[in-house]
Amino acid sequence: MLLDPLTEIMVQGITGREARSMVADMVEYGSRIVAGVTPGKGGQDVQGIPVYNTVAELKENHAPSVTIVSVPARAVLPAAEEALENGITLCLIMSERVPRLDTSKIVATAKERGCTVIGPNSLGLIRPHVAKLGTIGGRIDNVHRSFLPGRTAVISRSGGMTTEIASFLTSHGIGQSIAVGVGGDAIIGATFTELIAMLEQDESTDAVVIYGEPGGTAEEELADYLGTHKTRLRINAFLSGRFVDDLEGVRFGHAAVIVEGGRGSVKGKKQALRDAGVFVADRFDDLLEGLR
């Protein structure tokens, strides 16, 4: 499911301060970071990992299928396009404040080329004890405490809550097959619906926990999908922000957390998911009941 233990990974923007720290943690966790790209910094290295000026130059010596884009917002579009032109099949975009038009172009091109995009504005994804991409889980000691191998996938619009849910499950002996922070922007790559469709084919996953928020239509779109597609997965959801339903037009936290025109309310999302057969927890602890 997205991350194979032998997958080779490159990091675009590897010489940045945050990227250097991120790379050290990923390597320690077992992720195979083979090279990085920063224009003008070719010939340097980060944690012993070679740096190239372009993806094309990197591909002459390595064969990554995954990229992590950690560059300023204005540079995300050309960086992602360069990766897609060179056959990348999984693209994690961590950068925030990426213009929506740029994101739309990236997502459209990625679909044409068979690449899965996670983000923008995502902390990453992890397969416990296999590999992790990005800063999900924070520092390495916290990652080891929070994530446990198992058969329950976690998909969340909040990067922090991805770890929080995994930690909660781990504390009750429920391990995770994969955990994905899809990103908090209004326009993102892989959605709940697309990831559920992928998990349907994943033999290591039996159940899913989804964390949703006010705003957008991702949860309703998933409900529509489940209404017409049978699933073998036990899907559970927790939606935060009920108080936002009464504050139309006000944004909270992520760019996508805004209720407008009567759409995107938590109340409506809950009803739609329940009608589609999803167990929706009213309280965080109730997730255990759904998983049982």
Residue 4 sits in the same domain as residue 114: yes
Are residues 192 and 89 part of one domain?
no
pLDDT at 264: 72
The number of helix segments (H) and strand segments (E) in the chain equals: 10, 14
Q: Are 31 and 5 in contact (CB under 8 A)?
A: no
Q: Can you give the residue range of the structural domain that contains 138?
A: 122-292
pLDDT tens string 247-281: 555 555 555 555 555 567 888 899 999 999 999 99
Assign 195 a pLDDT band (cuts: 50, 70, 90).
very high
Query: How much of the chain, in percent, has pLDDT values that exceed 70?
Result: 92
Q: Which two tokens stand for residue 130?
A: 């296999």
Please report, for the domain that includes residue 72, its CATH number: 3.40.50.720
**pLDDT value at residue 226:** 97
The reply to whether 254 belongs to the active site is: yes
Give the chain's domain count.
2
Taking only the tens place, the pLDDT of each residue in 15-67 is 999 999 999 999 999 999 999 999 999 999 999 999 999 999 999 999 999 99
HSE-CB of 278 using CA atoms within 13 angstroms:
31
Is residue 107 located within the same domain as residue 127?
no
Same domain as 146, residue 107: no
DSSP conformational letter for 255 = T
The verdict on 50 and 166 lying in the same domain is no
Which CATH number covers residue 194? 3.40.50.261
Residues 161 and 74 reside in one and the same domain = no
